[in-house]
Chains A and B, each alone.
Chain A
Amino acid sequence: MKLRYFPFLFVLTAQNVLAARPVFEIEIKEHLFYPAELVIPSGQKVKLIVYNRDNTPEEFESYELNREKVIVGNRKAVIFIGPLAPGVYPFFGEFHPKTAQGKVIVQ
C-alpha cells in the first residue's frame, strides 16, 4: 500500500477517537433522576454519564433511545446516545420504574 494513503486511513479509522463527544450528566438519588429532563443537541452522538448516588443498583433503560445499562450502587455509568432527530425520548429506571422517570429532549 502506498505510504501516502496511511494518513487518510488513519483519519477514517480514528473517527471515534478524534471526535470529542459533548458530555451530559444525570444523577440518581432516592430512585429519582436529576435532572428529569435533559436537553441535548440533535444529530450528534453525546456521552451521558449517569451517577448512581443510591446504595442500590438501578438500570437505565429507554425503548426510544435503545439503551439499557445496569448501574451498581455508588458507581457511575457511561452511555452514548444519538445521533437523534429532534423530539422527546423518555427513559426510566427499570428497577424502580414508578419513580425513576425522565426524558431526553433533543433540539
Chain B
Amino acid sequence: MLDAVIIILREVLEAALIISLLLASSFTRDINRAWVFLALFFGASGALAYAYFMADISDSFDGVGQEVFNGCLLLSIIFFLALHNVGVSGQFDHSNKKLLLFLTYISFLGAVGVAIVHEGAEIFVYIYGHSSSVETLQPILLGGSLGFGIGLSIGALFYYALVNISKRFRMPAVCCIILIVAAGAASQSALFLIQADLLPSQLPLWNSSEVIPEQSVVGQLLYALFSYEATPTPLQAMFYVGALLVMASAMTVAAVISQKHVIDSEQRNIPL
C-alpha cells in the first residue's frame, strides 16, 4: 500500500503545484477561481482518454509515440504558461478587457488541464493495472487516496504561502516561479525526445546526486516543481536556459509595447 501512496503522491504533486500557482494568480487578479473545476473535469477526461489509448499511442512513431505525445503535452503547458506571463507583463488591462480575460482563462484552463492529462494518465494506468481483483485493488485505492490527500495538502500549503506574499511582490513572485516551472518543463520535454532518439544524447554536465539525490524527499519536491535532474545533459540545460530567455524576452516585449500604448494614449489625450 505504501508504494501506491508514493506513486500517486508524485503524480498529484506535479499537477498540484501548477494549479496552486495559477489559483494564486487568479486570486490576486480578482478573477473568479471557479475555472479550476472546469479544468479538473477536462483534465480528468483527457487523462482517461490518454490512459485508454496508451498502448496504441506508445506503439506509434516506431515505438516512441509515448515520448512524442508527452513532449507535445509539455510544450502545450509551456505555451499556456508563457501566455499567462505575457498577459500579466503586458498590463493590457486597459484595452480590450474582454479579450484579455478570455486569453487569461485560456491560459489557466490550458495549463492546468494539460498538466492533469499528463499526470492523471499514469495514475489511471496504475490503478487499472491492479484492478483485476478486489485483493489487489483495495490497498491501491487506499494508498492512492492517502497519496492524493497528501499531494493536495502540499498544494494547499504552497497556495497559502503564495497568497500570503504581500500584494506588491505577489504577481512578480508567481510569474518568476512560473518562468522556472516552464523552463523545467522544457528540459523535461528534451529528455523525452532524447529517450526517443529524436534528439542526440550526451554525457551529463554534472552529477549532483551527492548533494541532492533525486530519490530524496527534497529531490522529489524539486523535481515536481521544476524538473530537477541530478545528471542533466548539455542539451537539457540548453532547453532550460533557452526557454527562460525566450519567455523572459516575450514578457519584456509585452511590457514595453503596453507601456508605449499607455504613453501614446496619454499624449494624445485619448481615454484608454
Contacts and interface: CB of A to CB of B under 8 A. Distances in A.
B179 to A, nearest CB: 23
Contacts of A47: 197
B224 to A, nearest CB: 14
Contacts of A94: 7
A59 B122 contact: yes
Majority SS at the chain A contact face: loop
Chain A contact patch, size range: 20 to 34
Given A15-B200, A16-B198, 19 more contacts: A16-B197, A16-B200, A55-B132, A56-B129, A56-B130, A57-B54, A57-B126, A58-B129, A59-B126, A63-B213, A64-B231, A66-B195, A69-B67, A72-B55, A75-B55, A77-B63, A80-B195, A82-B201, A96-B3
Nearest to B4: A95
A13 B7 CA distance: 39
Contacts, number: 78
Interface residues of B, number: 35
Contacts of B55: 72, 75
A56 B191 CA distance: 26
A30 to B, nearest CB: 14
Interface of B: 3, 7, 54-55, 58-59, 62-64, 66-67, 122, 125-126, 128-130, 132, 191, 194-198, 200-203, 209, 213-215, 229-231
Contacts of B122: 59, 70
A32 B55 CA distance: 20
Contacts of B200: 15-16
A80 B67 CA distance: 11
